[in-house]
Chains A and B, each alone.
Chain A
Amino acid sequence: MEAWRLPLSSSIRGKLISAGYTSLSSISSVSSSDLARDANITEDEAFEILKLANQSSGSSSYNGSGSLINGAKNAWDMLHEEESLPRITTSCSDLDNILGGGISCRDVTEIGGVPGIGKTQIGIQLSVNVQIPREFGGLGGKAIYIDTEGSFMVERALQIAEACVEDMEEYTGYMHKHFKANQLQMKPKDILENIFYFRVCSYTEQIALVNHLDKFISENKDVKVVIVDSITFHFRQDFDDLVQRTRVLSEMALKFMKLAKKFSLAVVLLNQVTTKYTEGSFQLALALGDSWSHSCTNRVILYWNGDERYAYIDKSPSLPSASASYTVTSRGLRNSSSSSKRVKMM
């Protein structure tokens, strides 16, 4: 690898190259004091460069798990990790089925659709469902709701929280009759207490918040889902330079992925819709462009099919493309086919 690929400031890089250190092997074979003298930089800077160079070239020492390259994991270990991954239910079992059990943690999922299809509803439902205690098959975690458009209606969140508590109490009642089970402690207001709400008013605030989330979540380790409603709004109108916008957006997507992996939480990005001219006709597509559509791991599109709302898995590394119907009721998201109002508990 070449030396100019190292993440260094340009003046230091310039000094390195003019001193003759163009490849990594030449850097790693020299001591820090020699490097400092040759390239006319301080000892500390030389030490940093050597550290970076060694990281990039990769050490050939073996790890305890037998990996050849630092940081690599073998697929068998990953399979075990993936299977034990918790998932957040959407309260609609048909939807959960096509999602492989629910929204997966450690992944970034993008959900998009026309106005009024139920994106905010899914967002609010997920921020309530992530709090379902472990005894009921949930994650017992907290939620971060980043609202960029002001669509979060707290009265609706209360409605959904109340329905969730009612369903859990019904389940507890059943368990009480047949088994010994503990009384449910959670109240709807407690559920609202565990939703961390941020109102973002410009794309600068959005970027700042994403940068800041690492620190925030380190201080609030229970957070298991981050919902952004919507990722599009500010970037659609206020950004003039589209090339710049694409770069900033991809950096943001990477940061979200890092957060998801680091804290094992689910990131759900809600997106809007635009019309695109392809193959000779206008079609609907999710907003923010083609480059953005590569950034998210999973992609779900919500659409109208006849009289019903449907969700379609458009992009996923492990799930087949499938669609399922759902409805939005006063109690939140539910199955459309079943007439029962009960939430299916895992």
Chain B
Amino acid sequence: MANKLIGEMGLHTKISNIFAARNIITAKDALSMPEFELMELIDVGMKETKSAVALISEATSPPCQSARSLLERKVENEHLSGHLPTHLKGLDETLCGGIPCGVLTELVGPPGIGKSQFCMKLALSASFPAAYGGLDGRVVYIDVESKFSSRRVIEMGLESFPEVFHLKGMAQEMAGRILVLRPTSLANFTESIQELKDSILQNQVKLLVIDSMTALLSGENKQGAQRQHQLGWHISFLKSLAEFSRIPIVVTNQVRSQNRDETSQYSFQATLKDGLQEHTKTYDSHLVAALGINWAHAVTIRLVLEAKSGQRIIKVAKSPMSPPLAFPFHITSAGISLLSDKGTELKGPGINTIHARGHSDMINFHGECS
């Protein structure tokens, strides 16, 4: 929409020519500057400039829909009302059906907690036919750290969906639908996802998994602001990819330790003194999600996997339609399974902090790293 050509908007020929002469070809060129500046540039009166801008704006504006038609379209078009079930009853209920389509879902947690296991299970269930709760389509699995194990995926399939997997040729077909990419650099990854954008619909790709986003960026040399800018481009691109193709995109993120000078307070909070203790200094974990606050704003659903006193917990840290519930889980040969479908509701700082206590002896399951 931003690249719509001004020449095709039905403007008066005289103005149209002036725009072209000043190299203002697309709507983006015309609208990226304040009206006064535009008027100076094209040397035309204020009234004419305003009406030209009004016409360009009307042509470039996105269409309007009522929220009701949005809901109806979602229910009609998308299978399972636009969710990918995780087959974890408590989690699916909280998320109103499963991982939502059309938005970014993030899995963040300390190493070895089970993020890749979760992703592999999701990839498998997405490849299933609709009758078994799948999306009946291909899955693109971007495996940056070589954590994908087809042997493990088949094992998960055999254990959790025996009736499907034991049918002749099913295992081969399901596994055949999962396409694994191992990009060697960020540029490589960028190229691949750009290619993907064009071919998603034709190739029936129904899920995109990126494991992990952090590893892609940490390999680059750029620091600070440049890196944030790069990430910014990827954020916009992935979001628009998810929305445009209405598929769920699951991204895993790592954790890092919190710097001493990092804070979570506003300037007025120091003077406010609401009478509550300085809890920010007494947290027992120094871990935060990597990739920064900009990324945290961009993801729609954030699932935190953590370990507290030897128990693994998955919690819904950010979701516009669910309360912040935490579920205990463990990893079996069938993948991740919840120990209880009734989650405990979290409050305040407990929602966003990440714990890794009592975790180091749990890393290796079956000798395979998760």
Q: Which residues of A contact B (CB under 8 A)?
A: 7-12, 48, 114-116, 120-121, 145, 149-159, 189, 192-205, 207-212, 215-216, 230, 233-234, 236-238, 244, 247-248, 250-251, 272-275, 278, 281-285, 301, 303-308, 310, 312, 314, 321, 323, 328-330
Contacts and interface: CB of A to CB of B under 8 A. Distances in A.
Given A204-B2, A205-B61, A284-B266, A116 B321 contact: no
A145 B348 CA distance: 28
A327 to B, nearest CB: 10
Given A195-B66, A248-B33, A312-B272, A307 B347 contact: yes
B265 A208 contact: no
B261 A158 contact: no
Interface stretch (B50-58, B109-117, B192-200): B50-58
A150 B300 contact: yes
A244 B33 contact: yes
Chain B interface size, as a band, is: 35 or more
Contact of B57 (A156, A192, A209, A305): A209
A216 B64 CA distance: 10
B348 A307 contact: yes
B67 A157 contact: yes
Of B1, B36, B44, most A-chain CB atoms within 10 Å: B1
B28 interface: yes
Contact of A116 (B267, B276, B298, B352): B352
Contacts, number: 228
Of A196, A210, A307, most B-chain CB atoms within 10 Å: A307
Interface in B273-300: 274, 276-277, 279, 293-294, 296-300
A272 B297 contact: yes
Contacts of B236: 234, 237-238
A7 B32 CA distance: 20
A101 B92 CA distance: 38
Top 9 A-B pairs, shortest CB-CB distance: A237-B232, A211-B57, A307-B348, A204-B2, A208-B60, A192-B68, A195-B67, A307-B347, A116-B318
Nearest to B31: A207
Nearest to A161: B67
A248 to B, nearest CB: 6
Contacts of B235: 237
Contact of B31 (A192, A204, A321): A204
Contacts of A329: 323
A223 B6 CA distance: 30
Contacts of B43: 9-11
B263 A281 contact: yes
B239 interface: yes
A197 B46 contact: no
Contacts of B240: 201
A41 to B, nearest CB: 11
B302 A116 contact: yes
Nearest to A211: B57
Q: Is the interface of B mostly helix, strand, loop or mixed?
A: helix
B321 A236 contact: no
A301 B268 contact: yes
Interface in B1-48: 1-2, 27-28, 31-37, 39-40, 43-47
A151 B67 contact: no
Contact of B45 (A9, A115, A151, A275): A9
Given A156-B320, A330-B323, A48 B45 contact: yes
A329 B324 CA distance: 10
Given A11-B43, A211-B53, A305 B274 contact: yes
Given A116-B352, A237-B233, A282-B262, A205 B321 contact: no
A204 B27 CA distance: 7
A279 to B, nearest CB: 8
B46 A7 contact: yes
A105 B321 CA distance: 28
Given A203-B32, A306-B274, 6 more contacts: A204-B60, A208-B60, A230-B297, A308-B348, A323-B272, A328-B323
A308 to B, nearest CB: 7
A25 B31 CA distance: 35
Given A116-B302, A204-B32, A197 B263 contact: no
Interface in B302-324: 302, 317-318, 320-321, 323
A285 B266 CA distance: 6
10 contacts: A116-B296, A154-B71, A156-B320, A192-B71, A198-B63, A202-B2, A208-B57, A209-B62, A212-B54, A283-B263
A48 B242 CA distance: 51
Nearest to A310: B274
B219 interface: no
Contacts of A285: 266-267
Contact of A153 (B266, B320, B349): B320
Contacts of B279: 306
A282 B292 CA distance: 14
B58 A215 contact: yes
Contacts of A330: 323
B65 interface: yes
Of B233, B242, B267, B352, most A-chain CB atoms within 10 Å: B267
Contacts of B35: 251
Nearest to B49: A9
A197 B70 contact: yes
Given A272-B297, A306-B279, A197 B232 contact: no
Nearest to A279: B267
